[in-house]
Amino acid sequence: MAEYIKTLNYTFDRKASCKDIVKRAGVLSPSKVTIRNHPITHPVALFNATCTLIDDKFLVFARMILGYYMYVSAVVKIELSLDDILTRQVSHKHYEGEIILYPSTMYDIWGVEDPRLTVLNDKLIITYSGRTIRYFDPSSSYGRVLPMVASSPIENEECGWIKHGTLVLSKGIRENVIADKDAFIIRSPNNDLFLFHRPHITYCEHSNPYTRESYHLAISRVKDEVLNTVFQESEVSDTTEVLSPAYFERSLGWGTPPVEVERNKYIALVHATDNITQTYRAFAIAFSFSSYPLSILSLTPEYIFEPKETYEVYGDRPMVVFPCGLAKVDDMLVVTYGAADSVVGFGIIDETELLGLLNL
């Protein structure tokens, strides 16, 4: 690990096998979504969706592309009925979508990707991966993708979305960051604001000796001003690696923002790619903020989610389940995910079964 990134030094015995506990509830395909604020009425691809449940409205914020020339993404908001998901009707219905975040700055000009949503201070907060102006520059190895933060008030979303800017690591390591993805912002019970993210770094002490690159499942401290700025580059601090990949994995990345299952006990999904086929699977992590920056309570000993349906195995990027949203509904967890980079998938997890696997 580079000297500028600390590590929590957790070790867990995880297996490469999978006990898939996610019950598939349907998919949302591009042809079933009509975009109401763009002359191109249907996306070409729709995937990697985050979500939130507000009253009886299930809001989905999905990554979409309109064409394959440069694969430039935006984020579209789609409102569903929760009942459509629970009764497995979502695959058969048509919905309207509104583009809410799209390329407009040097930090996201080549794509607004993979949103994660949290709720803070009566605001919807979306953290997304911005493909910067450097993304297609062969002479640049730094900052091709960086996390960006945007917000909208819950009670008055018609005010629109404000981009607050991008988040960067400390100066000592910033120039070695190729990309920083899989990010979201949450607040701890101690009122600390944290960025969960996955820096992709080159020339680190523990980089792969063949590629000279490494990926880090990390958490960093964020200043509160980040959520109030108009637009600026903000530096995070105290970057700490939470967990290292297993020997059979190439990398880990934060999947879903967490849900609180008990007081100061949270569950999130983490995605992993394997070393051989780079298949995307997911396992669950339980943590608390009982110590700084967090304490890992347990992990599922196996993966709990892997590609098995046709739409997860085959698509623009084969063999992918990529969870980005998790909502607690009674004794269930509804997960929204990208399936093979082509459609939005919906799954349902029995909370009691998951807590049992986590020994909680």
pLDDT digits (tens, 9 = 90+) for 30-68: 999 999 999 999 999 999 999 999 988 899 999 999 999
The total number of structural domains in the chain stands at 1
Compute, in degrees rounded to 10, the torsion defined by CA atoms 267, 222, 202, 142: 130
Q: Tell me what percent of the residues of the chain surpass a pLDDT of 90.
A: 85
**304 in any annotated domain:** no
187 has pLDDT over 70 = yes
- Which residue is associated with the tokens 């459609």? 343
Given a cut of 80, is residue 345 above it in pLDDT?
Answer: yes
pLDDT at residue 205 in the model:
53
Report how far residue 95's alpha carbon sits from residue 86's, in angstroms, rounded to the nearest whole number. Answer: 16
| CATH code (residue 190) | 2.115.10
Determine, yes or no, domain membership for 166.
yes
| Confidence bin at 335 (pLDDT 50/70/90) | very high
* Per-residue burial over 63-84, b = 16 or more CB atoms within 10 Å of its CB, e = otherwise: bbbbeeeeebbbbbbbebebeb
Q: Across the chain, what does the average pLDDT equal?
A: 93
233 within some domain: yes
Instruction: Say how far residue 136 (Cα) sits from the centre of its chain.
Output: 23
Average pLDDT over residues 157-174: 88
Q: Is 194 inside a domain boundary?
A: yes
Q: What angle do CA 13, 18, 20 make, to 5 degrees?
A: 130
C-beta of residue 50 within 8 angstroms of C-beta of residue 118: no
| pLDDT confidence band for 212 (50 / 70 / 90) | low
Q: Does residue 43 lie in a domain region? A: yes
Q: How many whole angstroms separate alpha carbon 51 and alpha carbon 232? A: 26
Which pLDDT score is estimated for 79? 96
Helices (H) and strands (E) in the chain, counts: 4, 25
Which stretch of 211-215, 253-257, 351-355 has the lowest confidence by average pLDDT? 211-215
The pTM (predicted TM-score) of the whole model is: 0.95
The verdict on residue 316 lying in a domain is no
If one compares 285 and 54, the residue with the highest pLDDT of the two is 285
- Residue 35's beta-bridge partner residues? 97
Residue 222 falls within a domain, yes or no? yes
Bridging pattern class, strands 177-187 and 193-202: antiparallel
In a domain, 158, yes or no: yes
pLDDT at 167 over 90: yes
Per the document, the length of the chain is 360
Residue-wise pLDDT for 88-117, tens only, equals 999 999 999 999 999 999 999 999 999 999
CA angle 327, 153, 221 (to 5 degrees): 70
3 has pLDDT over 80: no
Q: Which residue range forms the structural domain that includes residue 329?
A: 6-15+26-262+323-347
